[in-house]
Amino acid sequence: MSNNKSLLKPGDYKLPMCPSGLEHINRYWDKRQQSFSAKILPGEYYVSKHNEIINTVLGSCVSACIYDKYAGVGGMNHFMLPLGNVTEHSGKEHLTSATRYGNFAMEILINEIIKAGGQKKNMQVKLFGGAKVLTSLLTTDIGQKNIVFVRDYLEIENLRVVSEDVGDIYPRKIMFFPDSGRVKVKKLKKMHNDTVRLREERYRIKIDREPVQSDIELF
């Protein structure tokens, strides 16, 4: 094999082993990054301890990139809270189904990282997303609700956030290197179509109808 990285082809490396249950994730050779890459969509997550990239594009959704730098393992999720809130007469909101859904998205990622050799005490987190890109009257603040939820969750679980890039009005492309914790972020300030917005609208409608019931216990 040539020492020139620009000449590397997917056949020069073996596709890293995929964790059980994540075979449906789209994985491919990223010629520009010279690495295999796993692309996750809304509602998905991926975990790896190999030299590969996890990438996604976020609008109102949020992603937590969680990694154990000592074990060289990490993972990323991509989720949004349902809008199925219950409001008391006092005006206080109880994110019942929404909280269960968010807990599920976070807990399953943490558990899978532990299964792959990580330890919760060593985990660090980088947060992204929560932009204001959904424009209907019902969803103007969903990005901020996602941000508030994930920050509160991580505080309760005593997981350290080492950096974040959240809020604003622009979608983001995220590239996460799970074995090192390194992240590349690109804000998509010029978008020629509504792909991200429409994808998240469809996802929001789906989870509002069928919120996930979380019964996972953290190791």
Least confident of 68-72, 127-131, 210-214: 210-214
Q: Which residue has the higher pLDDT, 140 or 121?
A: 121
Asked whether residue 97 carries a pLDDT value surpassing 80, the answer given is no
Q: Label each residue of the chain as H, E or C.
A: CCCCHHHCCHHHCCCCCCCCCCCCCEEEEECCCCEEEEECCCCCEEEECCCCEEEEEECCCEEEEEEECCCCEEEEECECCCCCCEECCCCCEECHHHHHHHHHHHHHHHHHHHHCCCCHHHEEEEEEECCCCCCCCCCCCHHHHHHHHHHHHHHHCCCEEEEEEECCCCCEEEEEECCCCEEEEEECCCCCCCHHHHHHHHHHHHHHHCCCCCCCCCC
Indicate the average pLDDT of the chain.
Answer: 83
Confidence of residue 139 (pLDDT cuts 50, 70, 90): very low
User: What would the mean pLDDT of 166-178 be, rounded to a whole number?
Assistant: 94
User: What would the pLDDT profile of 102-130 be if each residue is shown by its tens digit?
Assistant: 899 999 999 999 999 999 999 999 999 99
Asked whether residue 8 carries a pLDDT value surpassing 90, the answer given is no
